[in-house]
Chain A
Amino acid sequence: MTMTASQKLTQIRSELRTEEAEIINDKMIINMGPSHPATHGTVKFVLTLDGETVDDVDITIGYLHRGFEKMAEAGTWQQVLPYTDRLNYVSPLINNVGYVGAVEKLWGVEITPRAKYIRMLISELSRMTDHLTSIAAGALELGGFTPFLYGVEAREALYPLVEELTGARLTTSYTRIGGLAKDIPDGYEQHMNTALAHVEGLMIKVDKLLTKNRIFYDRMMHTGVLSQEDAISSGCTGVMLRCTGVDWDLRKHQPYLAYDELDFDVIVGSRGDNYDRYLCRMEELGQSVKMIRQIFKQMPKGPINVGDWKVCLPPKDAVYNSIEGMIAHFKLVTEGHQVPPGEAYFAVEGGNGEVGFHVVSQGNGRPYRVKVRPPCFYAMGILKKMLVGHMLADIIPTFDTLNMIGGEVDR
Chain B
Amino acid sequence: MSQSLIDLLRTVKPTAIVGSSVAAGDATVIVVREQLLDVMTFLRDDPRCRMDVLIDVTAVDYSEYDPALRHAVTPLDAGNSAGLPRFEVVYHLLSMPHRQRIRVKVALPDDDCHVQTMCSLWISANWGEREAYDMFGVQFDGHPDLRRVLMYEEFVGHPLRKDFAQRGYQPLVPMPNLADYADNEIYR
**What residues make up the interface of A, taking CB atoms closer than 8 Å to B?**
27, 29, 61-62, 65, 67, 69-71, 74, 105-106, 108, 230, 232-235, 237, 246, 248, 253-254, 340-345, 347, 354, 356, 358, 360, 362-363, 368-369, 371, 373, 377-378, 380-382, 410-411
27 A-B pairs in the complex with CB atoms less than 8 angstroms apart: A62-B152, A69-B135, A70-B164, A74-B166, A230-B123, A232-B96, A233-B52, A233-B123, A234-B123, A235-B53, A235-B55, A235-B128, A246-B96, A341-B73, A342-B73, A343-B23, A343-B72, A344-B23, A344-B26, A345-B26, A347-B55, A360-B60, A369-B61, A371-B58, A373-B92, A381-B123, A381-B127
Check: B69 CB closer than 8 A to any chain A CB: yes
Cβ contacts under 8 Å, B65 to chain A? 362, 368
In residues 133-188 of chain B, which contact A (Cβ within 8 Å)? 135, 148-152, 159-160, 164, 166, 186-187
Cβ contacts under 8 Å, A342 to chain B? 23-24, 72-73
Cβ contacts under 8 Å, A230 to chain B? 123
Q: How far, in whole Å, are A380 and B28 apart by their CA atoms in the complex?
A: 28
A-B contact count (CB 8 A): 117
Q: How far, in whole Å, are A395 and B36 apart by their CA atoms in the complex?
A: 37
Minimum Cβ distance to chain B for residue A388 (Å): 14
Cβ contacts under 8 Å, A358 to chain B? 56, 58, 90, 92
Cβ contacts under 8 Å, A62 to chain B? 148-152
Instruction: Decide: A233 and B124 in contact? CB cutoff 8 A.
Output: yes
**What residues make up the interface of B, taking CB atoms closer than 8 Å to A?**
23-26, 28, 52-56, 58, 60-61, 64-66, 69, 72-73, 90, 92, 96, 99, 101, 103, 122-124, 126-128, 131, 135, 148-152, 159-160, 164, 166, 186-187
Minimum Cβ distance to chain A for residue B124 (Å): 3
Q: How far, in whole Å, are A289 and B40 apart by their CA atoms in the complex?
A: 41
Residue of A nearest to B54 (CB): A235
Instruction: Decide: B90 and A27 in contact? CB cutoff 8 A.
Output: no
Question: Helix, strand, loop or mixed for chain B's interface?
Answer: mixed
Instruction: Decide: A378 and B73 in contact? CB cutoff 8 A.
Output: no
Cβ contacts under 8 Å, B152 to chain A? 62
Q: How far, in whole Å, are A109 and B96 apart by their CA atoms in the complex?
A: 27
**Known contacts A61-B149, A234-B123, A382-B123; is A69 also within 8 Å of B160 by CB?**
yes
Q: How far, in whole Å, are A378 and B124 apart by their CA atoms in the complex?
A: 6
Q: How far, in whole Å, are A237 and B126 apart by their CA atoms in the complex?
A: 16
The 4 closest A-B pairs by CB, nearest first: A235-B124, A381-B127, A341-B72, A234-B123
Q: How far, in whole Å, are A71 and B164 apart by their CA atoms in the complex?
A: 12
Q: How far, in whole Å, are A234 and B56 apart by their CA atoms in the complex?
A: 10
**Known contacts A67-B159, A377-B127, A378-B124; is A340 also within 8 Å of B60 by CB?**
no
**Known contacts A246-B96, A358-B92; is A235 also within 8 Å of B160 by CB?**
no
Cβ contacts under 8 Å, B186 to chain A? 27, 29
Select the residue from B72, B96, B150, B152 with max chain A CB neighbours within 10 A: B150
Instruction: Decide: A106 and B24 in contact? CB cutoff 8 A.
Output: yes
Select the residue from A248, A358, A371 with max chain B CB neighbours within 10 A: A371
Residue of B nearest to A371 (CB): B58
Minimum Cβ distance to chain A for residue B175 (Å): 16
Instruction: Decide: A108 and B151 in contact? CB cutoff 8 A.
Output: no
Q: How far, in whole Å, are A291 and B28 apart by their CA atoms in the complex?
A: 34
Minimum Cβ distance to chain B for residue A237 (Å): 8
Minimum Cβ distance to chain A for residue B125 (Å): 9
Instruction: Decide: A362 and B69 in contact? CB cutoff 8 A.
Output: yes
Cβ contacts under 8 Å, B25 to chain A? 105, 344
Give the contacting residue for A345; candidates B103, B124, B131; CB below 8 A.
B103
